[in-house]
Structure 1
Amino acid sequence: MAGGQVIVAYPRKEGYKFNKEYYLSTHMPLAAKHWKKHGMKSYTVTELSADGPYTYSVVIEFESAEGWGAAATDPNTKDVMEDVPNFSSEQPILISGGVISRETV
């Protein structure tokens, strides 16, 4: 099974701020612009339930786990990470790995 996945989660904290419109219209297209050349295939943004520890999450699909490794070390990724304060008061948590199984049910 090929593929890599990155999960980005934004912590829910007292007084947090998150600009959903900016995130969708500016930040994620910026990430896609820089990471597509490394095999970024898609992303799914989710507004999480109000009783959980995170406000929003995004699942980013790459052609391979190595693709995310290349994207993470790309000099342009600095632009992506430095954009976070433009829409979020909290730094995200990143979790990544290689896909070992995928089923459609």
Structure 2
Amino acid sequence: MKFRLILSFLLLAASFRAFSQTSQPSAGADKGLTKIVIMYPFAEGKTFNMEYYETKHMPMVAGYLGTNLVKYTIEKGLAAGVPNQPLPYMAIGTFYVKSLKEYQAAVAPHIPAIRADFANYTNVTPVILVSEVVR
């Protein structure tokens, strides 16, 4: 009986260690980066062309960022976090950069072009959050 209990404990501990090592492989990899999140709120009558956003708009903006850009992601909203609640965002684009100052300098001359391109994929005014990744 003791042997089975010890064996079960060891297997559980090994499984937990394996899970914790594989479930968060990059937990600290993004630490210290600046994250620019562009969120497109959902509302009745609003539209969003994901194909254009993915193939034209985001690559255009990413091109302005050069070597300061670490990565970018594109997300399509599916549901709210609470059942039976409206979708909060239709889409979210995120840029991870090394330096906020370099990001701002890179996009500043292109703001008119970036804003003019909105009409090609959405009729929504985005909400933008700039933050520092702490974990």
TM-score (ref. length: structure 1): 0.82
* Residue in 2 that maps onto 1:16: 46
Does the alignment pair 1:88 with 2:133? no
Does the alignment pair 1:47 with 2:81? no
1:1-44: CA deviations, max 9, x gaps?
5321101000111111111111111101110111225x122111
Higher strand share goes to which structure?
A: 1
In structure 2, the residue corresponding to 1:83 is in which secondary structure?
Answer: helix
Higher helix share goes to which structure?
A: 2
Counterparts of 1:40 and 1:4, CA distance in 2: 10
Counterparts of 1:71 and 1:91, CA distance in 2: 21
Q: How many residue pairs align between the two structures?
A: 99
In structure 2, the residue corresponding to 1:76 is in which secondary structure?
Answer: helix
* Residue in 1 that maps onto 2:37: 7
Counterparts of 1:71 and 1:3, CA distance in 2: 16
Counterparts of 1:66 and 1:9, CA distance in 2: 21
Task: Measure how far apart 1:89 and its partner are.
Answer: 0.9
Specify the structure having the higher radius of gyration (Cα).
2
Counterparts of 2:116 and 2:66, CA distance in 1: 19
1:23-70: CA deviations, max 9, x gaps?
111101110111225x12211111112332211001210012223332
Q: Which runs of 5+ in 2 are unaligned?
A: 1-30, 80-85
Q: Which runs of 5+ in 1 are unaligned?
A: none
* Residue in 1 that maps onto 2:82: none
Higher relative contact order (CA 8 A, sep 6+): 1
Residue among 87, 107, 110 paired with 1:76: 110
Does the alignment pair 1:60 with 2:95? yes
Task: Measure how far apart 1:78 and its partner are.
Answer: 2.0
